């Protein structure tokens, strides 16, 4: 199918193409064919379905570089959580062991649907509740069934009984990935919380290398993680295929090693600040000083907001506040939009596929209502996306050219049935967990 989006404000996030105050985006099948001021006479536009985007913004879909999607039916169960330890004990030690494979499916699917509804077209699911092969299969199916560009980062659970098939089961998972789902290995930075089995080390790096998959490392905090990073540097384990999540409170020497090796960073602005992780300050200045443009992520919906607009605004406000009177330059709205799109895609190995409206890339895009009451009149498209818009303004979402949200509604979703299934799963989990 060929689609021509015409007449809207186009924010490409491609530095070579720039932005168009009024322009067109042509899609053929799953791919972006062309971006320009007027593509009605383009050879491949003949017979295209024409979508008038006048008064709207066409932009790349957001990229969430780290979310624990399985937890979604427990959204906001601990909204005022005071520290990391409380989250770990309430969610990972008490609730997680109660999950069945079906609960994994329900939570992961709900998180992916919520992401799509808010304009997130790529989501890395850091699935650290892989108790059995069936749990892993259900989580992957939860991503695939929504149509999102999903990345399943598989890690064993912190607490409770599990079959100990991770990481060996990654070989099986790698051989039969459905739809747009890709695979990564998930690990922790250190053994402080869950012991050495889940901590990144040469043996896990060898598993990823043998399977030709990348690695995401969570809970990268402070002195212990800094020491681990320097150890990985000596062992040759750092590099572009490694994404470090949070990266708060790291030492200057650790940042030197990260920047020198092309290791990537996934920030979690609301998680760091609201839960109070290590310094509680998102490490955007440290990343930029090391030559790294980070991605952004949601992290845990049990305590935090679910959308990328919130992540951009929190990061922008915190960084600009801290920059006053310091040597750091103040970041811009375009910076944080880049972190939420192209930089995020690059940080999880998908920069050649997603993150910008570049001809030849996959057609992952969103259309945002710019003349809604909270956005009108449209004066600056990037400023509107970062400071004005919110999920209610996402009127269209495409992933790989497939329309998953149209006229402000997710396509083909039975909301009543979803609500029933999610509520039943939550109640069953709480009963099993003894709440």
How many angstroms separate the CA atoms of 266 and 243, rounded? 7
For 44, how many CA atoms within 13 A lie in the half-sphere containing its CB?
16
How many angstroms separate the CA atoms of 134 and 132, rounded? 5
- Asked whether residue 255 is assigned to any structural domain, the reply reads yes
Share of the chain above pLDDT 70, in %: 100
Confidence grade of residue 328 (pLDDT, cut at 50, 70, 90): confident
Would the pLDDT of 327 be above 90?
no
Residues 116, 238 share a domain:
yes
Q: Mutual orientation of helices 133-144 and 101-117 as an angle, nearest 10°? A: 20
Write down the residue that tokens 């030559």 correspond to: 291
Tell me the pLDDT tens digit for each residue of 371-402. Answer: 999 999 999 999 999 999 999 999 999 999 99
How many angstroms separate the CA atoms of 32 and 433, rounded? 47
Residues 274, 175 share a domain:
yes
- Asked whether residue 190 is assigned to any structural domain, the reply reads yes
Would the pLDDT of 280 be above 70?
yes
Instruction: Output the average pLDDT for the chain.
Output: 97
- Asked whether residue 24 is assigned to any structural domain, the reply reads yes
Burial of 3 (0-12, 13-18, 19+ CB in 10 A): buried
Would the pLDDT of 329 be above 80?
yes
- Strand-pairing partners, residue 20, are 10
Write down the residue that tokens 């209610």 correspond to: 392
Residues 184, 88 share a domain:
yes
How many angstroms separate the CA atoms of 356 and 354, rounded? 6
Q: Please give the residue that has the higher pLDDT: either 326 or 225.
A: 225
3-class DSSP assignment, residue 198: helix
Cα–Cα nearest to 287, from 312, 310, 313, 319: 319
Last residue of a domain, one of 299, 317, 347: 347
The terminus-to-terminus CA distance of the chain in angstroms comes to 50
Q: What average pLDDT does this structure show over 229-254?
A: 98
**Phi/psi at 63 (5° precision):** -120, 115
pLDDT at 431: 97
Range of the domain at 74: 62-347
Do the bridges between strand 49-52 and strand 409-410 make them parallel or antiparallel, or are there none, so unpaired? unpaired
Which CATH number fits the domain that encloses residue 229? 3.20.20.140
**Phi/psi at 83 (5° precision):** -160, 175
Residues 6+ apart with CB under 8 A from 281: 248, 272, 273, 318, 322
Q: Please give the residue that has the higher pLDDT: either 325 or 267.
A: 267
- Asked whether residue 262 is assigned to any structural domain, the reply reads yes
The answer to whether the CB of 337 falls within 8 A of the CB of 386 is yes
Residues 6+ apart with CB under 8 A from 142: 69, 104, 105, 106, 107, 108, 109, 111, 112
Tell me the pLDDT tens digit for each residue of 178-192. Answer: 999 999 999 999 998
Residues 286, 251 share a domain:
yes
Would the pLDDT of 161 be above 70?
yes
- Asked whether residue 430 is assigned to any structural domain, the reply reads no
DSSP code per residue over 247-264: EET--HHHHHHHHHHT-E
Residues 271, 162 share a domain:
yes
- Asked whether residue 418 is assigned to any structural domain, the reply reads no
Would the pLDDT of 194 be above 80?
no
The answer to whether the CB of 57 falls within 8 A of the CB of 377 is no
Cα–Cα nearest to 221, from 250, 258, 242, 255: 250
DSSP code per residue over 126-164: EE----SHHHHHHHHHHHHTTT-EEEEEE---SSS----
**Phi/psi at 292 (5° precision):** -115, 130
Residues 366, 307 share a domain:
no
Count up the domains in the chain and report the number. 2
Q: Which of 109-113, 171-175, 325-329 has the lowest mean pLDDT?
A: 325-329
Last residue of a domain, one of 322, 347, 372: 347
Confidence grade of residue 435 (pLDDT, cut at 50, 70, 90): low
Tell me the pLDDT tens digit for each residue of 249-258. Answer: 999 999 999 9
Which CATH number fits the domain that encloses residue 16? 2.30.40.10
3-class DSSP assignment, residue 223: helix
Write down the residue that tokens 């009605």 correspond to: 40
Last residue of a domain, one of 302, 322, 347: 347
The answer to whether the CB of 204 falls within 8 A of the CB of 217 is no
How many angstroms separate the CA atoms of 413 and 105, rounded? 16
Confidence grade of residue 199 (pLDDT, cut at 50, 70, 90): very high
What pTM was computed for the model? 0.97
Residues 372, 270 share a domain:
no
Tell me the pLDDT tens digit for each residue of 3-42. Answer: 999 999 999 999 999 999 999 999 999 999 999 999 999 9
Q: Which stretches within 290-407 are classed as H helix?
A: 308-323, 333-340, 342-347, 381-383
Cα–Cα separations (whole angstroms), residue 27 to 3, 11, 33, 341, 358: 5, 16, 5, 19, 11
Would the pLDDT of 193 be above 80?
no
48 membership: H or E segment, kind and range: none
Burial of 24 (0-12, 13-18, 19+ CB in 10 A): buried
How many angstroms separate the CA atoms of 348 and 65, rounded? 7
């Amino acid at each position: 199918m060929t689609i021509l989006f015409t007449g809207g404000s186009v924010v490409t996030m491609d530095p070579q193409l720039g932005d168009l105050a009024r322009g067109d985006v042509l899609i053929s099948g799953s791919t972006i064919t062309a971006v320009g001021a007027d593509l009605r006479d383009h050879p491949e536009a003949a017979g295209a379905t024409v979508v008038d985007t006048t008064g709207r913004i066409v932009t790349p879909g957001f990229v969430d570089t780290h979310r624990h999607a399985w937890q979604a039916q427990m959204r906001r169960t601990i909204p005022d959580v005071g520290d990391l330890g409380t989250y770990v004990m309430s969610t990972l030690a008490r609730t997680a062991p109660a999950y069945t494979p079906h609960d994994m499916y329900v939570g992961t699917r709900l998180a992916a649907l919520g992401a799509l509804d808010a304009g997130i077209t790529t989501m890395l699911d850091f699935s650290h509740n892989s108790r059995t092969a069936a749990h892993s299969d259900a989580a992957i199916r939860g991503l695939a069934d929504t149509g999102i560009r999903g990345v399943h980062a598989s890690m064993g659970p912190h607490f409770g009984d599990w079959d100990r098939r991770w990481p060996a089961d990654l070989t099986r998972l790698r051989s039969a990935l459905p739809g747009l789902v890709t695979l990564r290995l998930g690990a922790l930075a250190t053994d402080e919380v869950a012991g050495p089995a889940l901590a990144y080390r040469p043996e896990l790096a060898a598993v990823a290398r043998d399977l030709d998959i990348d690695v995401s490392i969570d809970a990268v905090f402070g002195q212990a993680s800094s020491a681990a990073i320097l150890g990985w540097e000596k062992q040759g384990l750092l590099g572009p295929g490694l994404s470090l999540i949070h990266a708060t409170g790291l030492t200057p020497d650790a940042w030197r090693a990260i920047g020198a090796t092309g290791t990537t960073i996934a920030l979690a602005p609301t998680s760091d600040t609201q839960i109070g992780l290590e310094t509680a300050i998102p490490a955007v200045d440290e990343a930029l000083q090391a030559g790294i443009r980070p991605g952004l992520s949601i992290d845990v919906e049990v305590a935090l907001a679910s959308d990328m607009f919130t992540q951009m605004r929190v990061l922008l406000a915190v960084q600009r506040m801290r920059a006053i009177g310091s040597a750091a330059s103040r970041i811009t709205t375009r910076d944080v939009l880049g972190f939420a799109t192209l930089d995020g895609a690059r940080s999880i190995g998908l920069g050649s596929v997603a993150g910008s409206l570049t001809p030849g890339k996959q057609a992952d895009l969103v259309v945002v209502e710019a003349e809604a009451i909270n956005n009108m009149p449209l004066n600056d498209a990037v400023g509107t996306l970062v400071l004005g818009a919110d999920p209610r303004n996402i009127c269209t979402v495409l992933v790989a050219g497939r329309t998953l949200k149209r006229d402000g509604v997710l396509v083909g979703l039975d909301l009543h049935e979803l609500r029933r299934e999610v509520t039943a799963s939550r109640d069953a989990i709480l009963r099993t967990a003894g709440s």
